[in-house]
Chain A
Amino acid sequence: MSDGTTEVDVTPEPQPQLHGCPVSDSRGQTVVHPTRAQYVALMKKLLDGGYVMCSDLTAADYLTHSGRTLPEGIDAERFEVVVNLTAIATRDRIRVRVQVPESDPTIASLFDLWPGTEAMEREVFDMFGLSFDGHPDLTRILMPEDWDGHPLRKDYSIGRIPVQFKGSNS
């Protein structure tokens, strides 16, 4: 290090921003990190800016994750809503990651911007228990209506059926 083989740049590069939200790069893919307050306004701007298709909306539960890199100014929370947008005209993709705290697992719905997020938000509600404000019909979609818990949360254990071996003593 000290012999100058790797020059460490001490001046921090200015944080790239998009519509006032920090932007990071994940394996060559652009990721925007808005806060919950900025979320809908940012999505509206992205939609107006050509991202006409909402390809995917999902979530992740970072309860047992060993630590992830987030841009400065973004506090890690337990849940993260991940939205993948596609711009048809420029053939471009962008990803939006929003932190959602465990104490208040709600976030605004994108239904008014992309009606196609309806089923995806229901799936996130079903699997993670995040509720979406403004969603027309927030019910379970994959699990039965009377199911307890939200299966893709990390503290929801997968069931196991004990294997019994014939003739064993224990």
Chain B
Amino acid sequence: MTSVENIFKTNEGAQEMRARSEISAKEILREVGSVLRMSEAEAAKLGQIPADADEDQTMIINMGPQHPSTHGVLRLMLELQGEKVLRCKPIIGYLHTGMEKTGEELTYMQGGTNVTRMDYLSPLNNELVFSMAVEKLLGIENDIPERAVWMRMLLSELNRMSSHLLFLATNGMDLGAVSMMLYGWREREEVLRFFQKVTGLRMNHNFIRPGGVAADLPAGWRDDVLEILEMLPGRLAEYDILMTDQPIWRERLQGVGVITADEALALGTSGPILRSTGVAWDLRRDQPYLHYDKVEFDVIVGSYGDAFDRYAIRINEIRESIRIVYQILDAMPQGDYRIQNKKVTPPPRARIDESMEALIHHFKIFTEGFKVPEGEVYSAIESPRGEIGCYIVSDGGPKPYRIHMRAPSFVNIQALPHMMRGGLVADAVAVISSIDPVLGEVDR
């Protein structure tokens, strides 16, 4: 096929949503959001294909992939009857760049640059889970210096704040609170400014690496963090006035996109979506990693499973993160910021000038990488969007034999058909926004 033909052939063929008469009953059930597999008796009662309007009264339309409120290139095919959404099918893949394949070609040292670009709103969490998986394979997960562990926690929590602030911004914009968008971006920028000071970059840091972190905290970091921590509570209170307590805001979100706990679990969702249904599941508390068992914080849980709960959970999680960061500031020890293990740590810059061996070591570790023992491991942490997992298979070489990222957005997006069913098109925007998908991570 020539490239010109390719341009005109823009449909996705069988991936698209088709008319009801063309597909199986099972697929229709999924697209109308019947997800639960129940006992035979219950299924017989509820699992019937709903008696919707005839095909000539409905229409199938595309929302996206260029729609501004789809947060990237998410394409939804919606079957509508008037304003009511009957069926929904998310179509993804527009941002697919084969990052898992690329990951097999990069050494463990370079891998961080790859995974950090997946969920570009919480890059540090991506790096963290990748590093933790590699460290587990190396068997050094318990030897990471204390300062590095606390630094990882500090960055991870600040990243959670910046990601949730961006959610507040885009959620506000999607629902017409345009000023909120400016405020959210403004506050997020403050956090990113700190990241730039620490890592050199606003995003895609490649700062958390197997064995520790790339550099020590810069001078004056404590004041910068305190500045953020003191600025945020007042701003969050302003958001409450602007949005939480506002009747229009509540009207738009309460009771929209409802999902029950059983459905959320069956769909594998995690993070704020699962917690909005009342399931108190937060990997930071339930399967503690780093030093999360040494800090005090509350897991925010909703009770209705609607878009408002998901909004409220995120805004309150920023408050919890502030609480955690205060404790991290108190606990931050002095010491090394990366493991002193010649195998995974390059020699310090100063040594290269004096020692031939250090120069050779430096050259070898950056060209060949370090070898990781054969095995396979899955590590998971709580990213702002839910459980982010990293599955690595090693064949004993310096590159991962297979690297798979369990992307929370990829799984959470499956809840869309269920949340949309029976709602209005205008609510569809609120529902997408409340899932807070990052398409870079969905498509990888």
Residues of chain A having any CB pair with chain B under 8 Å? 26-29, 52-56, 58, 60-61, 64-69, 82, 84, 86, 88, 91, 93, 95, 112-120, 123, 127, 136-137, 139-146, 151-152, 158
Contact = CB atoms under 8 A, between A and B. Distances in A.
A116 B267 contact: yes
B267 A95 contact: no
Contact of A145 (B12, B96, B395): B12
B281 A88 contact: yes
B391 A82 contact: yes
Contact of A136 (B26, B266, B389, B393): B26
A143 B93 contact: yes
B208 to A, nearest CB: 20
Nearest to B31: A137
A58 B414 CA distance: 16
A120 to B, nearest CB: 7
Contacts of A65: 393, 395, 401
Nearest to A157: B101
Nearest to A139: B14
A151 B269 CA distance: 27
Interface in B389-408: 389, 391, 393, 395-396, 401-402, 404, 406
B137 interface: yes
Given A139-B15, A145-B15, A115 B404 contact: no
Given A115-B36, A145-B15, A53 B265 contact: yes
A124 to B, nearest CB: 10
Contacts of B30: 115, 118, 136-137
A115 B36 CA distance: 7
A146 B1 CA distance: 11
A68 B395 CA distance: 8
B396 to A, nearest CB: 6
Given A68-B376, A137-B27, A158-B101, 16 more contacts: A65-B395, A68-B395, A82-B376, A84-B391, A93-B287, A115-B36, A118-B30, A119-B414, A136-B29, A137-B23, A139-B13, A142-B443, A145-B14, A145-B15, A151-B98, A152-B402
A55 B279 CA distance: 15
B380 interface: yes
Contacts of B15: 139-141, 145
21 contacts: A26-B377, A27-B136, A27-B139, A55-B387, A55-B389, A56-B378, A56-B391, A56-B404, A60-B402, A61-B402, A65-B393, A84-B391, A115-B266, A117-B268, A136-B29, A139-B14, A140-B14, A140-B93, A142-B92, A145-B13, A146-B13
Contact of B374 (A29, A52, A66, A144): A66
Interface residues of B, number: 58
Contacts of A144: 12, 93
Contacts of B24: 136
A162 to B, nearest CB: 17
B96 A142 contact: yes
A151 B99 CA distance: 11
Interface string B36-47: 110000000000
A37 B380 CA distance: 29
A91 B285 CA distance: 10
Given A55-B406, A145-B12, A152-B101, A60 B287 contact: no
A71 to B, nearest CB: 14
A19 to B, nearest CB: 20
Contacts of B404: 56, 58, 60
User: Which one of B96, B279, B396 has the highest number of Cβ atoms from chain A below 10 Å of its Cβ?
Assistant: B96
Contacts of B102: 158
A120 B269 CA distance: 12
A56 B380 CA distance: 10
Which 8 pairs between the two chains have the least Cβ-Cβ distance?
A116-B268, A145-B13, A136-B26, A56-B406, A116-B267, A142-B93, A142-B96, A115-B35
Contacts of B105: 158
Contact of A152 (B100, B267, B269, B281): B100
Contacts of A113: 37
Nearest to B267: A116
